[in-house]
């Protein structure tokens, strides 16, 4: 696993710049996502509590699941999720999540479909590890793997990772890593108030309809 310094060195070698539609955009985005995260945490608290009880009743192990991910400029952090898989899900080593993953519990299938398992990541947003919208953060092992297979893959690290993103509302599990990368780069190059609102509204539709996947 590479150090933060190695990731930063790689980032400095990137070509191109992060594009924004306005000089006010970063501040507005941060203010909105802090307000949105606090409001959504309060609103979903009853659902979170019921889900935590259901997880505990179905299978032994912790309610929350923490996993190392790679964020802005290669800085690693621990993403927080409600546990949706068995505790021995990675007994054979790290695996990329798949559609109809057999490691997922019964409660896990429901909370993954409805995205309830992602709600604790609002804490990551409040901490500043993540943004509300951006490329989904990958694990260090997969970041290295995809960087070897996909030219320029680490350009995704030029922005904070997001709870949802352009790739998630346009591809989900059906998209390959290379296709997700292309969609992530489209967002990075065109990010604006307008596209953020489009992603947010389409995310709401995905959650309510149960279609697509992150």
Chain-wide mean pLDDT for the chain?
84
Q: Is the pLDDT of residue 2 over 60?
A: no
Q: What is the pLDDT of residue 23?
A: 78
**Residue pLDDT, tens place only, 13-57:** 444 456 565 778 999 999 999 999 999 999 999 999 999 999 999
Label residue 87 by pLDDT band (50, 70, 90): low
Q: Which residue has the higher pLDDT, 87 or 148?
A: 148
Q: Are 107 and 58 in contact (CB under 8 A)?
A: yes
pTM beyond 0.75: yes
The percent of residues above 90 in pLDDT, for the chain, comes to 61
pLDDT per position as a tens digit, 145-201: 999 999 999 999 999 999 999 998 987 667 889 999 999 999 999 999 999 999 999
Confidence at residue 20, expressed as pLDDT on a 0 to 100 scale: 61
| Distance in angstroms (rounded) separating the CA atoms of residues 63 and 65 | 7
CA–CA gap between residue 191 and residue 22 (Å, rounded): 10
Model confidence at 113, pLDDT cuts 50, 70, 90, reads confident
| Residue 152: per-residue pLDDT | 95
Q: Which DSSP symbol is given to 70? A: E
How high is the pLDDT of residue 88?
Answer: 59
pLDDT at 214: 44
Cα dist. 129→54, 84, 125, 206 in Å?
28, 22, 6, 24
pLDDT grade for 11, boundaries at 50, 70 and 90: very low
Q: What are phi and psi of 50, to 5 degrees?
A: -65, -40
Smallest CA-to-CA distance from 10 within 183, 186, 205, 155 is with 155
Query: What is the rounded distance in angstroms from the CA atom of residue 11 to the CA atom of residue 27?
Result: 23
């Amino acid at each position: 696993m590479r150090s933060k310094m190695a990731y930063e060195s790689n980032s400095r070698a990137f070509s191109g710049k992060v594009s924004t539609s306005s000089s006010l955009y970063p501040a507005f985005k941060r203010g909105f996502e802090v307000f949105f995260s606090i409001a959504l945490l309060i609103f979903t608290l009853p659902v979170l509590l019921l889900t935590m009880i259901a997880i505990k009743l179905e299978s032994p192990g912790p309610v929350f699941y923490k996993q190392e991910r790679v964020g802005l400029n290669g800085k690693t952090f621990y993403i927080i999720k409600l546990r949706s898989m068995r505790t021995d899900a990675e007994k054979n080593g790290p695996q990329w999540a798949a559609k109809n993953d057999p490691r997922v519990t019964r409660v896990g299938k429901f909370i993954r479909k409805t995205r309830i398992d992602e709600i604790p990541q609002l804490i990551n947003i409040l901490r500043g590890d993540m943004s509300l919208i951006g490329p989904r953060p990958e694990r260090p092992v997969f970041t290295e793997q995809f960087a070897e297979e996909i030219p320029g893959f680490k350009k995704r690290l030029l922005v904070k990772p997001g709870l949802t993103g352009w790739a998630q509302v346009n591809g989900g599990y059906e998209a390959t890593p290379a296709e997700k990368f292309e969609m992530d780069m489209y967002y990075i190059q065109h990010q604006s108030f307008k596209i953020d609102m489009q992603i947010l509204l389409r995310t709401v539709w995905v959650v309510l309809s149960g279609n697509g996947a992150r």
